[in-house]
Structure 1
């Protein structure tokens, strides 16, 4: 298993309950795909470096996890089709 880090930005209109539900959804994708979660860090609402689709801020979430190389591809696919995810990135920490 390899170590990965993902940061995703949720739409600022999400309330605390919706943010928690989104985090649990992505944690479930990782765990159901055979991965293990090392750390989940909710950074909260922050201003974006630049405007995206007329939005100036978003809720940032950092997740560190371990998984097989196929899992980040599936996680990326789910990030892309999930409403409310403004941006995301998945980084392999072992290089």
Structure 2
């Protein structure tokens, strides 16, 4: 089972009860395929950049769910048959953001000193060729190697 996000554009709902009925039908399709709906986010009515099939707006819903990858194609086909669904896009949900403070760039051997361009540092032989020590270079003058 993989985690997916489905951005669904519904045809314009008439009232709150109609919208809730449409959302229940959409959630039911996921559970019929053996998946589970984790979260539903109502993004509200959005106008399109241009008219699509004589419509100028739709109601956007973001659905987060888990489902077997083999059943995604079947789910898409089921949504195409649903007349309430105007458009749908299903993508793999992004993994949780990693803590950037814990990440270490293993490719970087040293930091570039402030005020010194990285190109000048590399041209001056700073880095592994110079024992890892940066060599300062004045701007506008060629580097001495």
TM bucket by the smaller chain? 0.7 to 0.9
Query: Structure 2: how far apart are the matches of 1:78 and 1:33?
Result: 10
- 1:60 matches 2:60: yes
Query: Structure 1: how far apart are the matches of 2:3 and 2:59?
Result: 23
The structure with more strand, counted as a fraction of residues: 1
After superposition, the CA RMSD in angstroms is 1.8
The structure whose RCO (Cα within 8 Å, separation 6+) is larger is 1
Q: What is the TM-score with the length of structure 1 in the denominator?
A: 0.87
The number of equivalent residue pairs is 95
Stretches of 4+ aligned residues off by more than 3 angstroms: none
Give ranges in structure 1 of 5+ residues lacking alignment: none
The 3 A distance-change label for structure 1 pair 11 and 20 is: same
What residue number does 1:19 align with?
19
Q: What is the TM-score with the length of structure 2 in the denominator?
A: 0.59
Give ranges in structure 2 of 5+ residues lacking alignment: 96-145
Compute the displacement of 1:31 (Å): 1.6
Q: For 1:1-95, what aligned pairs fall within 5 Å after superposition?
A: 1-93=1-93
Query: Structure 1: how far apart are the matches of 2:93 and 2:43?
Result: 20
SS at structure 1 position matched to 2:69: coil
Higher Rg of the two aligned structures: 2
Query: Structure 1: how far apart are the matches of 2:61 and 2:38?
Result: 14
